[in-house]
Structure 1
Amino acid sequence: MAQFSFRQWLQKTRESRILVLIVVTVALFVDCILNTVIAPILPTLLIGKNTSNSSVVSNYTFTLLPDNSSKGIYQLQNANGTQDGECYTKGKENSDGQDFRIGLLLAFKGMLQIVANPIVGVLTNRFGYDAPLLVGFAVVFFSTLMYAFGEQYVFLCVARGLQGIGSSLTTVPGLALLANTFPDDEERAKAMAISTSGLTVGILLGAPFGSLMNGSFGKSSPFYVLAAVTLLDGALRLCILRPSKFSPGSIPATPYLTLLADPYILVTVVGYFLTKLHSSLLQAIVPIRMMEHMCAPSYQLGLAFVPAMLTTILTLNGFAILSLKWGRWLCLMLGFIIQGIGIICFPLAANIFGLIGPSIVLGIGTALVGASIMPLMAYLIDLRHTSVYGGIYAITDAAFCLGFAIGPLFGGAIASAIGFTWVMVILCVLLIIYAPLFILLRNVSGKDEKKPILNQENTPEEAKSDDQ
């Protein structure tokens, strides 16, 4: 009897749309926080190995100086109490030659994920969501443990590559499952906003979480915590998924080349790439700039993004509702312009407190874009192609990964060549110039007249059969 009751509970749980939303949100959060948590750890880990100290700034404290000081609000003071300028000099000398190694390690995950995404998209369309999501959990958990125990550069690269494969097996089927579970556009917009908040919070929380845990408890501590969260995520996935279930789709998927040839999808995907490109650039070069120019200790290296994270959390769901009234194209356009304004203000900061304002502005722009981009992808598929979502989210995630690969890989070299300020100027100009292109999404033409909005009580399978 107890076994029968447990089976009934498990069957009811697997049919819960709310639990599906929770599982996908937690999965995206874990994936993204693991992606960015290592960014503030690497400069102190790699640069510190080239010095006699464990960290460039470990033997220094900071003294508050008058605002008219030529060195800004913070000035270096060594352990003997004499003030000097060695923090900037040491940081610059020791970081020379390390930018590319840091960027390559950060980009390696995205490179492998770009290769894996088309394969995972095809597998998701053919065999369903269950098996890829469960395999993805196992791979991500194993790569998290590798981060915790590894210190050699090559070992960290292997962990980063495995994480990329696990991320592909999580993100593509997860977003496709969510789009399939919520067929109504308004419901889907709200669900996607919640799941995107998990993605965005993971991206923005990773850097401050990594820097605080690294500074307080050591390099391995954040990965132990994330391994525990990953286990919780795996338990949640087991509640809704069937490991042995293979469910071939009844509707043929749209080929990748057809999707990429769609001008509306192309404008949206390129825009998504640009917004992730600037995010990855900031997370790769801001910690190094803080070490070189602000004499920031290791625990502060990720705190610059805390205001952006809090702003995004507070505004994302509200912007998801507003995007249905204003239009997603307008939210995307405003989001790009606001992000550009926030980015151009980063070089004006002389210390960590000066980064608060630009970070808040950046968070508002990120929330506007995040509330619109994912539901818009599914909407374009429903309107112009067959309602099979593995392919479109494979392309979307590939754009995400490309941005997070190019940014850290070349960001350090570009910043060294032309300076941090010019990198921010170029990003600002790119975002503001690209923003008007979203006007093209104002009136999207469908291949047929748009189908009526499906009833809420219909299941995705019933809804699709009704449309055929």
Structure 2
Amino acid sequence: MANISLAFLEPTITTWMAQTMPDTPGWMVGMIWFPPFFPHVLGVYVTVKLLRKYPQYPWLFAAVGLAMEGLSCAVVPFMTSVIQLIIPLSTICFGIALIDTSLLPMLGYLVDTRHVSVYGSVYAIADISYSLAYAFGPIIAGGVVHSMSFVALNMLICFLNVCYTPMIYMLRRVYAYDNLDDSAKAKVNEITAPSMNQLQSEERDGYGYQQTDAMNNGDYGYQQNYGTVEGSNGFANPHANTQKHFDPLNPSW
């Protein structure tokens, strides 16, 4: 969906420029997509900075980019000069940068967390989507321009992109985690500090058992974490799992 705008406009915009802007030099018509290249690079840089600051909102950046594409396509047919035409084409490329930079890492994250970590397959699916857009784009766009007009083609692109934008809202919970900033780390330390202090204050032998008074008196009596002292030799019964604490030496745990 993000590549429909380019796939539909690239094969048809030169013919439209030749009809509506006949005084435009041929080299300028061929170079019409070169100035939007720089906003595309800027969009990649801006998106990376935004994702570092707001890692939970890649879906929002992609939705904004798709909406920018659709609205820019609606403006393209009403431009009367090359300078004016560069502006909506630049916003289209900027929106594509927002989408690609936001969603391509999300594809790898989804594969890594929900499926088998075979990243080549998911990025191959992304490449297939590009190929489908550019394979059928000239065919569909040429038919629409021939049967209707270039204005109708751009309105169709705008309608599709704007209507598809709410679908990206379904991706909002992909990165459902809290960023551990300094305040969050301090809160975690407050929670874990008492338990660590209590653990360090307990006297334990080399096997993880609490030492009892019998041990201090020279006897071999131990008290396990999960039960009471049983047996004639002073050791606890390994089958007395009244409290299910982890004991690496207990085979019945």
Q: TM-score, normalised by structure 2?
A: 0.64
Q: Pick from 417, 425, 443: which aligns with 2:155? A: 425
AA aligned opposite 2:57: G
Give the Cα separation in 1 of the matches to 2:126 and 2:95.
19
| Alpha carbons 2:43, 2:94 under 8 Å: kept | yes
Residue 173 of structure 2 aligns to a residue whose secondary structure is coil
Length, aligned pairs only: 174
Q: Give the C-alpha shift of residue 445 in structure 1.
A: 8.7
Give the Cα separation in 1 of the matches to 2:136 and 2:30.
20
Q: Are 2:37 and 1:309 equivalent residues in the alignment?
A: yes
AA aligned opposite 2:6: S
Residue 125 of structure 2 aligns to a residue whose secondary structure is helix
- Write out aligned runs for 1:23-422 (5 A): 274-295=1-22, 296-324=24-52, 325=54, 327-422=57-152
Residue 3 of structure 2 aligns to a residue whose secondary structure is helix
Q: Give the C-alpha shift of residue 433 in structure 1.
A: 0.9
Identity of counterpart residues, as a percentage?
Answer: 27
Deviation string 1:42-71 (CA, Å, 9 cap, x unpaired) is xxxxxxxxxxxxxxxxxxxxxxxxxxxxxx
Give the Cα separation in 1 of the matches to 2:112 and 2:175.
12
Give the Cα separation in 2 of the matches to 1:363 and 1:395.
21
Give the Cα separation in 1 of the matches to 2:105 and 2:10.
26
Kindly indicate whether structure 1 or structure 2 has the higher relative contact order, using CA contacts under 8 Å at least 6 residues apart. Answer: 1
| Alpha carbons 1:328, 1:372 under 8 Å: kept | yes
Q: TM-score, normalised by structure 1?
A: 0.36
AA aligned opposite 2:33: F
Residue 80 of structure 2 aligns to a residue whose secondary structure is coil
CA change 1:436–1:323 in 2 (3 A) is farther
Structure number with the higher helix fraction is 1
| Alpha carbons 1:335, 1:369 under 8 Å: kept | yes
CA change 1:377–1:302 in 2 (3 A) is farther
Deviation string 1:106-127 (CA, Å, 9 cap, x unpaired) is xxxxxxxxxxxxxxxxxxxxxx
Deviation string 1:329-374 (CA, Å, 9 cap, x unpaired) is 0011111111111111100112212202212221321221121121
Query: Once superposed, which parts of structure 1, at least 4 consecutive aligned residues long, lie more than 6 Å away?
Result: none
| Alpha carbons 2:59, 2:103 under 8 Å: kept | no
AA aligned opposite 2:61: C
Give the Cα separation in 2 of the matches to 1:407 and 1:429.
16
Q: Give the C-alpha shift of residue 306 in structure 1.
A: 2.8
Give the Cα separation in 2 of the matches to 1:275 and 1:352.
24
Structure-2 residue corresponding to 1:443: 173
| Alpha carbons 2:7, 2:134 under 8 Å: kept | yes
Residue 143 of structure 2 aligns to a residue whose secondary structure is helix
Deviation string 1:314-342 (CA, Å, 9 cap, x unpaired) is 23122123134151100111111111111
| Alpha carbons 1:291, 1:297 under 8 Å: kept | no
Flag structure 2 segments of 5+ consecutive residues without an equivalent: 178-253
**Structure with the greater alpha carbon radius of gyration:** 2
Give the Cα separation in 1 of the matches to 2:146 and 2:59.
36
Give the Cα separation in 2 of the matches to 1:323 and 1:315.
12
Flag structure 1 segments of 5+ consecutive residues without an equivalent: 1-273, 450-468
AA aligned opposite 2:8: L
| Alpha carbons 2:44, 2:101 under 8 Å: kept | yes
